[in-house]
Amino acid sequence: MIQIEKLTKRFDQTHGIFDVSFRVEPGTVFGFIGPNGAGKSTTIRHLMGLLHADSGKATVMGHDCWKETETVKALVGYLPGEINYPQDMTGEEVIRLTRRLHVTSAERERQLLDVFAFDTGLKVRKMSKGMKQKLAIVTCFMKDVPVYVLDEPTSGLDPLMQERLVDWVLAEKAAGKAILMSSHHFPEMEKTCDRAALIRDGRMIIEEEMAELKRRSKKTYRIGMKDEAAAIKLSEQIGTREQTFVTVSLSTSEELNGLIELLARHDIASLTSGTDELEHMFMQYYGEAT
């Protein structure tokens, strides 16, 4: 289990993280969301014993992440946001080194190399971003540990590999692992996370069950009308108009049913849904940050 309590690290007056608190329970995935520079990686670095907090505490299964860093790192599989493996090593050499540095499972290694297949004979310097990411995923999950910390895990992966990673994470969750996942990729967060938090300017803005976040979030629909007159007529009843298009934002299924009933009485040219629910909600917070 991961526990962060009132964690504060001040780099200067405005930069750092301030009073960050959350828990990640076994068998759950916790989504950590925020704009670039919000403090996600800074928080994660405390868990890996890379940063020493000014105040507050970060623990993994009761072990202090700074004072008992060796114990903590033995319990955690870490996928860093920036993959900086030695450039002259091949994928196979990095995997072999991981085997020697950590307690790993040969069976998991074989499975991972099947699922996230790539040319392990290639040197890191020759690898694409996606290949390096797959290498990092393999070396992270080779460890059969109770806690995983994943910083932007799908970065650089193609859609098929993203889907496979989501499946892998769900399997780990089902096996009772506690997983902290920072990401900008909302569909994967919706599929995997039980709970999520948004951090902005180093402070936690919201922390909520995923189901509750979805319930509160708004969904946007863009309705195309035959002509401008029809669009004006519809916009008088609902939404906002832009030329022949009307945009409607909804929160509940009741509102959605009402919209469908309304549209049935109009001659509609097209209907498209906007950003995903969760993404839409977080984009509002992101927007406030910029």
Partner 1 sequence: MVLVSSLFKQNRGWILGYALGTSVYLFFLAAIFPSIQETGLIEGKLDSLPPELLDVFKIDPNLAMDNVINLLAGNYYGLIFYVLAILFASRLMAKPVDSGEVMLYMAAPISRSGYVTASIALLVIATVLFVGLNGLSLMLANVLFYLNIDSGLLWTLQLNAGLILLVLGSLAYVLASLFDDSTRSYMVTGGIFSIFLIANIFSGFSDQLDWLRNLSIFSLFDANALIQGDSVWLSLFWLTALNVLIIVSCYGWFTRKDLTI
Does 45 bind partner 1 (CB under 8 A)? Our answer is yes
Identified binder of partner 1 from the candidate list 6, 15, 67, 86, rule CB under 8 A: 86
Contact with partner 1 (CB under 8 A) among 10, 23, 63, 102: 102
User: From the CB of 85, what's the least distance to partner 1, in Å?
Assistant: 6
Residue 48 CB, nearest distance to partner 1 (Å)?
7
Instruction: For residue 47, state whether it binds partner 1 (rule: CB under 8 A).
Output: no
To the nearest whole angstrom, how small is the minimum distance from the Cβ of residue 277 to partner 1? 34
Cβ at position 54, least distance to partner 1 in Å: 10
What's the rounded Cα separation, in Å, for the pair 15 and 164? 36
- Asked if residue 88 binds partner 1 (CB under 8 A), the reply is yes
**Which of 1, 61, 74, 268 contacts partner 1 by CB under 8 A?**
74
The answer to the question of residue 134 lying near partner 1 (CB under 8 A) is no
* 12 lines the binding site for partner 1 (CB under 8 A): no
122 touching partner 1, by CB under 8 A? no
Among residues 71 and 111, whose Cβ is nearest to partner 1? 71
94 binds partner 1 (CB under 8 A): yes
User: Contact 124/97 with Cβ under 8 angstroms?
Assistant: no
> Do the Cβ atoms of 218 and 281 come closer than 8 Å?
yes
Q: Which residue in the set 84, 160, 253, 287 belongs to the binding site for partner 1 (CB under 8 A)?
A: 84
Does residue number 205 form part of the binding site for partner 1 (CB under 8 A)? no
61 binds partner 1 (CB under 8 A): no
CB of 147 to partner 1, least distance (A): 13
In the complex with partner 1, the residue whose CB is nearer, 35 or 80, is: 80
Helix axes 129-141, 106-115, angle to 10 degrees: 150
Write a three-state SS string for the chain: CEEEEEEEEECCCCCEEEEEEEEECCCCEEEEECCCCCCHHHHHHHHCCCCCCCEEEEEECCEECCCCHHHHHHHEEEECCCCCCCCCCEHHHHHHHHHHHCCCCHHHHHHHHHHCCCCCCCEHHHCCHHHHHHHHHHHHHCCCCCEEEEECCCCCCCHHHHHHHHHHHHHHHHCCCEEEEECCCHHHHHHHCCEEEEEECCEEEEEEEHHHHHHHCCEEEEEEECCHHHHHHHHCCCCEEECCEEEEEECCHHHHHHHHHHHHCCCEEEEEECCCHHHHHHHHHHHHHC
At its nearest, how many Å lie between partner 1 and the CB of residue 41? Answer: 8
Nearer to partner 1, 101 or 229 (CB): 101
Interaction site with partner 1 (CB under 8 A): 45, 48-52, 69-71, 73-74, 78, 80, 82, 84-86, 88-89, 93-94, 97-98, 100-102
